[in-house]
Amino acid sequence: MRIVAFNSSPRGEKGNTHVMVREFLAGAREAGAEVENIFLAGKRIDHCRACFVCWVATPGKCVIEDDMAELRDKFMSADVVVMATPLHTDNISGMMKVFMDRMIPIIDPHFEADGSGETRHVKRYEKYPKLVVISSCGFPEQTHFQIISAFFKRLARNMHSEVIGEIYRGAGGLLTADVALLQPILAKYKALLRQAGREIVEHGKLSDETRAELEKPLITPEIYLQHANQMWDRMLAQRGG
């Protein structure tokens, strides 16, 4: 099995989302998968021009010359793609949206009705990778990921694929916090992420038990809010805010 992760955090390897992806891929690798972790922040990805050249003039090939041709090939070469994004204004990051807009060459422009009678585009290729969604946010509650979850499920439907795993982490700032008292909690959470990676490889899905454990808060929202606000106060004071 080949798993490719596309991380759309502007912070790249310094981001909280990367901690989640890194551990998930480590577990997948332990289970025998070939893995690759791609940071979109280090790639040149221009905006889609909506010119339809990739649909009618050079079917499957975009007219824009940047890094997307290679990224699309990596996407289509995978059995499972990890779509990793921080929560930005209640949705995926802008970088992820531009990346996905530029994926339209992998779909044929013709229309068809799916099993429920709803219209979508036709397949260009026989096989499309399955999707795993990984996301973190600064808010403590898990409810903030509702739009991201809906977005990727709709995306998977239109891409003739399916979402086989969703891993969301509220209070994501804790993942990179250098606090001694947090380390046992983070060690347990990282072990769960590795377990999730192994399960995707071995079973093609997350177990109910692992999914439930991954949803549990790392600390109480009340304690998190208190310390998060203290952090912002310190940063503002340091910068004269």
Other C-beta atoms within 10 Å of 140: how many? 22
Give residue-wise pLDDT tens across range 104-150.
Answer: 999 999 999 999 999 999 999 999 999 999 999 999 999 999 999 99
| pLDDT confidence of residue 240 | 74
- pLDDT at residue 176, rounded to an integer: 94
Give the position of tokens 């239109």. Answer: 158
Per-residue pLDDT at 123: 96
Q: State how far the Cα of 135 lies from the Cα of 11, in Å rounded to an integer.
A: 14
Residue 240 buriedness (CB in 10 A; 0-12 / 13-18 / 19+): exposed
Helix/strand/coil percent split, the chain, to 5 = 50, 20, 30
* pLDDT tens, position by position, 230-241: 989 999 999 875
What pTM was estimated for this model as a whole?
A: 0.96
Low-confidence ranges of the chain (pLDDT < 70): 241
* CATH architecture of the domain covering 2-238: 3-Layer(aba) Sandwich (3.40)
- For residues 46, 21, 217, 221, the Cα torsion angle rounded to the nearest 10 degrees is -40
Alpha helices in 8-160 (DSSP H): 16-30, 53-56, 68-77, 94-101, 146-158
- Give pairs for 53-62: CB < 8 Å, separation 24+: 54/104, 54/105, 55/104, 55/105, 55/108, 55/109, 56/109, 59/105, 59/108, 59/124, 60/105, 60/106, 60/124, 61/105, 62/102, 62/105
